[in-house]
Structure 1
């Protein structure tokens, strides 16, 4: 295994690009959740970038070109629904699958996210095996 893949990076910093790996962008403000998702998905063989807030999401979508975005809805600086809507309004980004990983457990929250273009919705604490299957399913599509 390439040792560069295991580098620890600050939140928001990208690992060196691995063109053969699928790129996942995580937007999660909770440090423990972000690190857990980061480590698990890297272990699964993905090139992962994570952000602690949503302010730079659109910029990082341009720079990182993620295949999938994992998005928390409750962020300290911007509502996740607004980010989801902004992604869907841009023709270049609307085809990027967005998987919601949120503590918001009400059906109305899920329905709103799905109406705004989310492909899947997971309630925290998330089952990592189920999340990995959802990611693989979205990549296959």
Structure 2
């Protein structure tokens, strides 16, 4: 039933040299089921994934993992996702990493605020995984050019 394929998923703070050619995605999602679903789907799509359940070690993990793209929930238990966006935009080292928001905040003002703070795209939960995958590919292609 199970696959013997090695997963490019990594543990917090750990690099995975055998998968260095894969695009690295940092997922910040506090809901365990949503995080696991995103992890599994993104690994299946061929990405190396590091996921965090909160923002406490976000910048530490960002520096260690060096992601090509960030998927960010706005409502986290310890920090506001908007604060993370703002800090990313104020740091020249990180401001060009594409950020896609995946949030339950459905109001236009929420999405506009996130986009004004530098998010590239905004998805409202529950998210269509095919649409999200296309958005990730689109942003990675823009970023690598």
TM-score interval for Structure 1 and Structure 2 normalised by the shorter chain = over 0.9
- Cα contact 1:13–1:50 (8 A) shared by 2: no
With 131-140 and 13-22 compared, the bigger mean Cα shift is at 13-22
Contact 2:8 2:49 in 1 (8 A): no
Do the aligned partners of residues 47 and 111 (structure 1) sit closer, same or farther apart at CA in structure 2, a change above 3 Å counting?
same
Q: Which aligned segments of 4 or more residues in structure 1 are displaced greater than 6 angstroms?
A: none
Q: Is the partner of 2:6 in helix, strand or coil? A: helix
Stretches of structure 1 that go unaligned for 5 or more consecutive residues are none
Q: Give the alignment's Cα RMSD to 1 decimal.
A: 1.8
- Alignment: residue pair count: 139
1:22–1:66 contact (8 Å) kept in structure 2 = yes
Aligned counterpart, 2:96: 95
Which structure 2 segments of 5+ residues have no match? none
CA contact (8 A) 1:70 1:100 kept: yes
Distance 2:60 2:125 in 1: 26
Q: Which residue in the other structure is 1:16 paired with? A: 16
Q: Is the 8 A contact 1:15 1:49 kept in 2?
A: no
Aligned to 2:139: 138
Report Cα offsets for 1:46-76 as digits up to 9, x if no partner: 0000000011111111000000000000000
**Once the 2 structures are TM-superposed, how far is the Cα of residue 77 of structure 1 from its aligned partner?**
0.3
Q: State the TM-score, normalizing by the size of structure 1.
A: 0.93
